[in-house]
């Protein structure tokens, strides 16, 4: 007689009970998979993984005390043989990169079908990497571009003097140049000079665009300091 195939043991890590119960019921429909337990937090995950010794952990990315990446790192620090499949509603590049860095071999969105989830669990248990190299290359390229863009934005904001930041703050409150001059007790010509420099530094064509770009860059309004040319 042929021995029955060994079941793949799955640990579910999900903080929403209804989702966890749904996944448990879903995986019970596949004869080669068995759910051995459910953890609802990062803190609970590692002790449960130690006790239950799953082959695969199916982990939500957003947990009440951390992320799926935290849970994955904790599991694999104890037992690197446990395969990690992240199941999340977060489709961001940052979440995917965090999961990969923590040792996850798969990343599925919660819109995935039952068959897709089961297939991913099987593949992970066999040691397969479910995230295509081409996808990682694209994500890393976008991540580097975002980092460069953020650095450039910070550099533009940092290049502004305290007075320019002060005037930009008043601009964002809707004050025109004459009102800014009156508020700060400086000349209208001085305000115009500062505004021109602000537009140059933010690569903006108008004061409205400068205000919008500064907000996009994370500008934090400065407090008025009083008269000063």
What does the pLDDT average to over 220-227? 61
Torsion of CA 52, 56, 62, 64, to 10 degrees: 0
Lowest mean pLDDT among 98-102, 142-146, 166-170, 191-195: 142-146
All domains of the chain in start order, with CATH: 8-131 (3.40.50.2300), 147-216 (1.10.10.10)
pLDDT tens figures, 193-209: 999 999 999 888 888 88
**What pLDDT score does 1 carry?**
45
Structure token pair of residue 33: 């998979």
Q: What value does the mean pLDDT of the chain take?
A: 87
**What pLDDT score does 205 carry?**
87
pLDDT greater than 90 at residue 97: no
pLDDT greater than 60 at residue 2: no
pLDDT greater than 70 at residue 137: no
Measured distance CA(169)–CA(180) in Å, rounded: 10
pLDDT tens figures, 42-96: 999 999 999 999 999 999 999 999 999 999 999 998 899 999 999 988 888 888 8
Q: Please report the DSSP string for the chain in residue order.
A: -PPPPPPEEEEEE-S-HHHHHHHHHHHTTSTTEEEEEEE-SHHHHHHHHHHH--SEEEE-SEETTEEHHHHHHHHHHH-TTSEEEEEES---HHHHHHHHHTT-SEEEETT--HHHHHHHHHHHHTT---S-HHHHHHHHHHHHHHHHHHHHHHHHHHTS-HHHHHHHHHHHTT--HHHHHHHHT--HHHHHHHHHHHHHHHT-SSHHHHHHHHHHTT--PPPP-----
Kindly indicate the confidence band of residue 3, based on its pLDDT and cuts at 50, 70 and 90.
very low
pLDDT tens figures, 15-54: 999 999 999 999 999 999 999 999 999 999 999 999 999 9
**What pLDDT score does 5 carry?**
60
List, in sequence order, every residue forming a beta bridge with 106; answer none if it has no partner.
Answer: 85
Lowest mean pLDDT among 55-64, 79-88, 98-107, 131-140: 131-140
pLDDT greater than 70 at residue 143: no
What does the pLDDT average to over 221-225? 60
**What pLDDT score does 212 carry?**
87
pLDDT greater than 90 at residue 146: no
pLDDT greater than 80 at residue 229: no
Specify the pTM.
Answer: 0.61
């Amino acid at each position: 007689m042929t021995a029955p195939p060994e079941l793949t043991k799955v640990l579910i890590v999900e903080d929403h009970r209804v989702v966890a119960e749904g996944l448990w019921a879903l995986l019970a429909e596949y004869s080669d998979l068995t759910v051995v337990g459910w953890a609802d937090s990062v803190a609970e995950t590692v002790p449960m993984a130690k006790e239950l010794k799953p082959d695969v952990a199916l982990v939500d990315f957003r947990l009440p005390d951390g992320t799926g990446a935290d849970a994955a790192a904790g599991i694999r620090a104890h037992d690197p043989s446990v395969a990690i499949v992240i199941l999340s509603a977060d489709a961001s590049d940052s979440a995917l990169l965090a999961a990969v860095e923590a040792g996850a071999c798969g990343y599925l969105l919660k819109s995935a079908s039952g068959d897709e989830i089961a297939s991913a669990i099987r593949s992970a248990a066999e040691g397969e990497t479910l995230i295509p190299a081409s996808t990682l290359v694209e994500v890393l390229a976008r991540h580097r571009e975002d980092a460069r863009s953020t650095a450039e934005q910070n550099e533009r904001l940092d290049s502004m003097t305290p007075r320019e930041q002060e005037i930009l703050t008043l601009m964002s409150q809707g004050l025109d140049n004459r009102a800014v001059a009156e508020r700060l007790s400086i000349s209208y010509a001085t305000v115009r000079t500062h505004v021109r420099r602000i537009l140059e530094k933010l690569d903006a064509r108008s004061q409205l665009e400068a205000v919008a770009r500064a907000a996009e860059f994370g500008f934090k309004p400065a407090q008025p300091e009083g008269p000063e040319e």
